[in-house]
Amino acid sequence: MDVDYKAQGNKAFAAQEYDKAIELFTKAIELDPTNHILYSNRSASYASSKEYNKALEDANKTVELNGTWAKGYNRKGTALYRLGRIEEAREAYKEGLKYEPDNAQLKKALEDIEASNNSNDSFGKIFPDDMLVKIAMNPKLKPYLDDQDFVTKIQAIQADPSQLNLYLQDNRIKEVFMFILTGNANFGSEQDETSEKPENRFYPEPEPEPKTREVPEPEPEPVEKSEEEIKKESAVKEKDLGNAAYKKRQFEEALQHYDKAWELDSTNITILNNKAAVLFEQEKYEECVKICTDAIEVGRECRADFKLIARALGRIGNAYVKLGKLDDAIKYYNKSLTEHRTADILTKLNETVKLKAKSEKEAYYNPELADKAREEGNELFKKSDFSGAVQKYTEAIKRNDKDPKSYSNRAACYTKLMAFQEALKDCEVCISLDPTFVKAYLRKAAVEFLKKEYSNCLTTCEIALKHDDGKHASEINAQIMKCRQAMYSGQGQNTQSQEEVLRKASSDPEIMKILQDPVMQQILQQSQEDPGALMEHLKNPVVASNIQKLVNAGILRTA
């Protein structure tokens, strides 16, 4: 972003940092050497630093670039006046009044000069025209002529005797003044008491200085602001008035202020952002989107802060949510996050994505079409087209995700396709939707059996028996027997070493509790003496569960 040296120079001048102001205005002039206001501002800075010759150079350049600008002649007159060139200063002020007759500064400066001259007529010529010659002829005063500042002061007093009051603090000027009054450059120095004064030498007492109209040291004139800067300041004031009205929910008044502000400064996109906020509150969402779009276009052209552009993009997203255009809202939320990432916009994006998914799901919901898709899936299942059946059952679930039958049927397909994890997941969803759905338990037990999770398989079968009304009892018992046969035929044999098994068992409280149970100890001992007795004991679900846990832990090994 380009550095605004002019604005920085104005701030430095206001802070009375004149050297810094001169440096900054010089840099600004290097970038824009035809801008008369920059030379005028630097002239004011030089004058405030009492570098009047340089102030005059810049004032002349100001007039050269814009000969009809009254402020330039004011700068020129000020520099000439401080240099003691009173007549030239008068002419400069008069010239400026030709272009701007009502300029208060020029009128006041000219009045001061005229008043000063009127008082000078009564004061008379303090330093004669040959004053510098007289000083040069005096051995004590002559060295002062080597200092140009001293010479300038003498010339200024010659041109305007009232200047004497300004320079009497300079001891050299005071000595010259006393030299004029007494004819003695050593006035005030010690004299030899024995020295004899010439006869009839008259040493007059210095007369009181005449009361003249003193011309005060002028205060530094404020640096000039361009018309554009003045408009921008006015725009900010209007914007602030709009903000105040917005806070009071006086929306129409706020809009009027924002419109005025935009007329004054069509580069400040904050004005448009604030106007869009008002339109959003008024539920004029389409207009809000349009204003934000304009703000983004202007912001790109003016290289506005990316945070302001992100804010406009985010507000467009908010408006589209209100309009129900969720795809557009998501699009603009993402654009906003690209410009500047904020937690607020990220949260709104995530909420909108969820809202969109929910809306799409609700729009797709149709129980009749769900039933139709499930029936089509059933026909494909009968034809052993399990992949096609999965697609149909999935469609049925999308159309109605509250129907447990579609999940159960898809689980059967996944089982056929050996996709056990997906099958188990569908069984769990089905059971959560309908805990009494026995068919879902049977499908789950079948998958657990295929995965050789025999203990889980028996547990699932036991739950199925609790919910069964007798219709599936034979199927459930068949699964149980099949599972137990697999368990005790060596299919589920633990391959760990006996030492490792015992070490793990000793650290498992549940296994140790079973082994320390007197009833279980008696059953285990009896089973060793009569293996056939074990089958009878397994008819007891509690005993069967404990035996299964011991088998799974490797404590019991089947032949």
- When pLDDT is cut at 50, 70 and 90, the band that residue 216 belongs to is very low
- The vertex-72 CA angle with 66 and 76, nearest 5°, equals 130
**Residues in CB range of 103: below 8 A, 6 or more apart:** 70, 74, 96, 97
Mean pLDDT of 425-430: 95
pTM of the model: 0.46
What does the pLDDT look like over 341-391, one tens digit per residue? 999 999 999 999 999 988 887 888 899 999 999 999 999 999 999 999 999
Residue 155 belongs to some domain of the structure: yes
DSSP class per residue in 33-55: TT-HHHHHHHHHHHHHTT-HHHH
3-state class (DSSP) for residue 293: helix
Residue 477 belongs to some domain of the structure: no
Residue 377 belongs to some domain of the structure: no
Same domain, 155 and 57: no
Q: Tell me the C-alpha distance between 90 and 96, whole Å.
A: 10
Residue 83 belongs to some domain of the structure: yes
Same domain, 253 and 317: yes
Mean pLDDT of 516-526: 85
- When pLDDT is cut at 50, 70 and 90, the band that residue 193 belongs to is very low
> What average pLDDT does the chain have?
83
Residue 433 belongs to some domain of the structure: no
CATH number of domain containing 114 = 1.25.40.10
What does the pLDDT look like over 266-319, one tens digit per residue? 889 999 999 999 999 999 999 999 999 999 999 888 888 899 999 999 999 999
- When pLDDT is cut at 50, 70 and 90, the band that residue 3 belongs to is low
Domain boundary among 182, 199, 217: 182
**Domain range for 178:** 131-182
Structure tokens at 225: 């602001």
Mean pLDDT of 119-126: 50
Same domain, 234 and 360: yes
Same domain, 79 and 168: no
Same domain, 138 and 238: no
Residue 389 belongs to some domain of the structure: no
Structure tokens at 240: 């602030």
What does the pLDDT look like over 158-186, one tens digit per residue? 777 767 767 777 888 888 877 776 666 55
202 to 176, 183, 195: CA distances (angstroms): 19, 10, 16
Q: Is the dihedral of CA 241, 244, 250, 255 positive or negative?
A: positive
Q: Tell me the C-alpha distance between 242 and 271, whole Å.
A: 9
CB 129 within 8 Å of CB 148 = no
Same domain, 35 and 112: yes
Q: Is the dihedral of CA 263, 268, 274, 275 positive or negative?
A: positive
What total number of domains does the chain contain? 4
Which pLDDT score is estimated for 286? Answer: 94
Judged by average pLDDT, the poorest of 2-11, 18-27, 83-92, 369-378 is 2-11
Same domain, 243 and 313: yes
CA 182 to chain centre: 75
Same domain, 30 and 152: no
- When pLDDT is cut at 50, 70 and 90, the band that residue 558 belongs to is low
CATH number of domain containing 555 = 1.10.260.100
Residue 66 belongs to some domain of the structure: yes
Which residue did the predictor score with more confidence, 529 or 349?
349
Domain boundary among 338, 364, 390: 364
Same domain, 273 and 293: yes
Structure tokens at 552: 């799974």
